[in-house]
């Protein structure tokens, strides 16, 4: 698989099936042209193809090259920006959020079953608290889920029980649930791409889009060809620089980084993650970790809001891992990599339209496996004429920094210092 050289991850080393989709050469026609081969693009392509649309999808590098093929693999419920949505729409929006917040998990599960995608899906997730105030927040969460009838899937775990899930003394306790889980993110992408092509979607790799010519039927251009379509979906998230007049200055790319140890022996694997759940701490600048299918510790964290990558990812992440799991001090680090997430100030995913027929969706603030799949369904509904859910997001105003991207990123970095201080208190 010729994946771009800056991402030699555990995932690229363990893919099920290398992709070799052609480069776009010449002029094509489709109902819908999708730009970006991550989950937003692929989940939209799959849903649209299921409803009979002719779809062409263009990817700059390879399928899953962006965040979707590099992430922590934590499949987590939720919809970003609850406070901002509540502020705009009032308390009635709670039911809307509660309806959607598990939908992405369900779609991923449906896709895995329906299209026979092997991506190591396992259930179980624990949010871990360092502080009493964080435990109180988790208790509030637990009460909310219980009031929604999900109390049997969630369990508050005290300091005495947390070692059933994570072998560390770092935490006061946590909130465990068996509906979230973890998976091999790149194999999910590749499986969704295979499923989409099986339904007739035309995928083109090594085909960076250079411009969109707007009109009654927009034309999407690459260096070697074009796609004329009735509608376009722009799904490049933190990696694209298209249509900056409309979508520039509202999304801020931030780096987050992962290391993977060598495979741990059975005793060490069950010492560090006895229930094989995925785990996050609940800091704003959170760490996230889990075991891979071959029992490596995959440990991620250190959001970099400046947009710059650290020179040495291992040096940045290893001390964080050893603070939680000192027993891993002799484990060899086999892989280190990073990727870009799209930070949105109010955390509400950005959905919108440029003109009538160019849709965009971006900005999951690091919490994207679930949300991208929700969004793929919402975009498909919108293209089919059901605009209600799409409009809820499209009507939310986003804070725009009308300055070069690095100015915006540095402002966001400053803002995030506030949260880092809050985590320390
Ligand atoms: C290190 C890391 C860890 C993460 N951990 C988690 C996690 O554990 N759980 C979770 O839920 N989320 C996690 N996330 C976030 C999640 O991965 C993203 O929110 C999600 O993958 C975004 O999907 P996307 O399709 O919108 O964007 P991407 O996956 O980034 O895909 C965008 C694609 O568009 C392509 N593209 C850009 N410009 C063009 C162009 N001009 N022409 C053609 N193609 C173009 C890019 O090459 C790229 O492949 C993590 C992200 C990172 C980076």
Ligand 1 centroid, distance to 340 Cα (angstroms): 7
In sequence order, the β-bridge partners of residue 108 are none
What does the pLDDT look like over 349-383, one tens digit per residue?
999 999 999 999 999 998 999 999 999 999 999 99
**CA atoms of 343 and 81, how far apart (whole Å):** 12
Atom of ligand 1 nearest to the CA of 69: 29
Ligand 1 centroid, distance to 168 Cα (angstroms): 31
Which one is predicted more confidently, 4 or 394? 394
Ligand 1 centroid, distance to 23 Cα (angstroms): 21
**CA atoms of 238 and 323, how far apart (whole Å):** 30
**CA atoms of 301 and 318, how far apart (whole Å):** 10
**Residue 253 beta carbon below 6 angstroms from any ligand 1 atom:** no
**Residue 10 beta carbon below 6 angstroms from any ligand 1 atom:** no
Q: Is the pLDDT of residue 123 over 60?
A: yes
Q: What does the pLDDT read at residue 284?
A: 81
What does the pLDDT look like over 173-208, one tens digit per residue?
999 999 999 999 999 999 999 999 999 999 999 999
Q: What does the pLDDT read at residue 400?
A: 84
Q: How many CB atoms lie within 10 A of CB 258?
A: 25
Q: What does the pLDDT read at residue 3?
A: 40
Q: What does the pLDDT read at residue 2?
A: 37
Rounding to the nearest 10 degrees, give the CA dihedral for residues 189, 115, 122, 19.
-30
Confidence of residue 421 (pLDDT cuts 50, 70, 90): low
Q: Is the pLDDT of residue 107 over 80?
A: yes
**Residue 239 beta carbon below 6 angstroms from any ligand 1 atom:** yes
Rounding to the nearest 10 degrees, give the CA dihedral for residues 168, 171, 173, 175.
-90
**CA atoms of 343 and 250, how far apart (whole Å):** 9
**Residue 41 beta carbon below 6 angstroms from any ligand 1 atom:** yes
**Residue 58 beta carbon below 6 angstroms from any ligand 1 atom:** yes
Average pLDDT (310-335) is 95
99-135 burial, b for 16+ CB within 10 Å, e for fewer? ebbbbbbebbbebbeeeebebbbbbbbbbbbeeeebb
- Per the listing, tokens 């090259």 go with 65
Q: Is the pLDDT of residue 65 over 80?
A: yes
**CA atoms of 238 and 17, how far apart (whole Å):** 26
* Beta carbons within 8 Å of 140's beta carbon, 6+ residues apart: none
**Residue 36 beta carbon below 6 angstroms from any ligand 1 atom:** yes
For ligand 1, mutation pick of 71, 122, 208 (most atoms within 8 Å of CB)? 71
Q: Is the pLDDT of residue 333 over 80?
A: yes
**CA atoms of 416 and 284, how far apart (whole Å):** 9
Contact between residue 238 and residue 340 where contact means Cβ atoms under 8 Å apart = yes
Strand pairing class (278-281; 122-129): parallel
In the structure encoding, which two tokens stand for residue 209, read together? 């889009």
**Residue 179 beta carbon below 6 angstroms from any ligand 1 atom:** no
Which one is predicted more confidently, 422 or 248? 248
The whole-model pTM stands at 0.95
What does the pLDDT look like over 244-257, one tens digit per residue?
999 988 998 999 99
Which one is predicted more confidently, 6 or 128? 128
Residue 254, SS3 per DSSP: strand
């Amino acid at each position: 698989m010729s994946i771009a050289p800056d991402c030699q991850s555990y995932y690229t080393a363990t893919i099920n099936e290398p992709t070799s989709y052609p480069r776009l050469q010449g002029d094509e026609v489709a109902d819908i042209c999708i730009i970006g081969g991550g989950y937003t693009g692929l989940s939209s392509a799959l849903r649209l193809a299921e409803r009979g649309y002719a779809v062409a999808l263009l990817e700059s590098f390879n399928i899953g090259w962006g965040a979707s093929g590099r992430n922590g693999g934590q499949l987590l419920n939720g919809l970003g920006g609850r406070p901002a949505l509540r502020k705009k729409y009032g308390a009635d929006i709670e039911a809307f959020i509660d309806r959607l917040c598990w939908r992405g998990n369900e779609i991923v599960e449906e896709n895995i079953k329906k299209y026979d995608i092997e991506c190591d899906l396992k259930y179980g997730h624990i949010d871990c608290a360092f502080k009493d105030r964080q435990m109180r927040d988790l208790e509030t969460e637990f009460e909310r889920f219980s009031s929604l009838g999900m109390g049997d899937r969630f369990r508050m775990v005290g300091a005495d029980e947390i070692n059933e899930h994570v072998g560390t003394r770092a935490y006061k306790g946590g909130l465990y649930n068996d509906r979230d889980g973890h998976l091999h993110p790149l194999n999910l992408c590749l499986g969704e791409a295979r499923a989409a092509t099986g339904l007739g979607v035309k995928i083109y790799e090594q085909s960076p889009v250079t411009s969109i010519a707007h009109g009654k039927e927009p034309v999407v251009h690459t260096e070697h060809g074009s796609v004329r379509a009735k509608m376009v979906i722009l799904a490049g998230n933190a990696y694209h620089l298209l249509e900056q007049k409309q979508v520039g200055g509202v999304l801020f790319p931030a780096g987050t980084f992962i290391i993977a140890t060598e495979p741990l022996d059975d005793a060490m694997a069950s010492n560090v993650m006895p229930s094989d759940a995925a785990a996050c701490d609940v800091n704003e600048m959170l760490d996230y970790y889990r075991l891979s299918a071959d029992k490596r510790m995959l440990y991620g964290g250190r959001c970099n809001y400046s947009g710059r990558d650290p020179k040495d990812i291992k040096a940045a992440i290893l001390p964080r891992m050893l603070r939680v799991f000192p027993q891993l001090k002799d484990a060899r680090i086999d892989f280190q990599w990073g990727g870009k997430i799209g930070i949105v100030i109010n955390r509400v995913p950005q959905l919108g339209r440029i003109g009538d027929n160019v849709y965009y969706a971006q900005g999951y603030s690091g919490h994207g496996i679930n949300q991208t799949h929700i969004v793929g369904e919402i975009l498909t509904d919108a293209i089919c004429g059901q605009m209600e859910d799409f409009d809820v997001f499209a009507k939310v105003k986003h804070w725009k920094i009308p300055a070069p991207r690095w100015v915006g990123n540095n402002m966001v970095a400053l803002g995030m210092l506030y949260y880092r201080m809050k985590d320390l208190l």
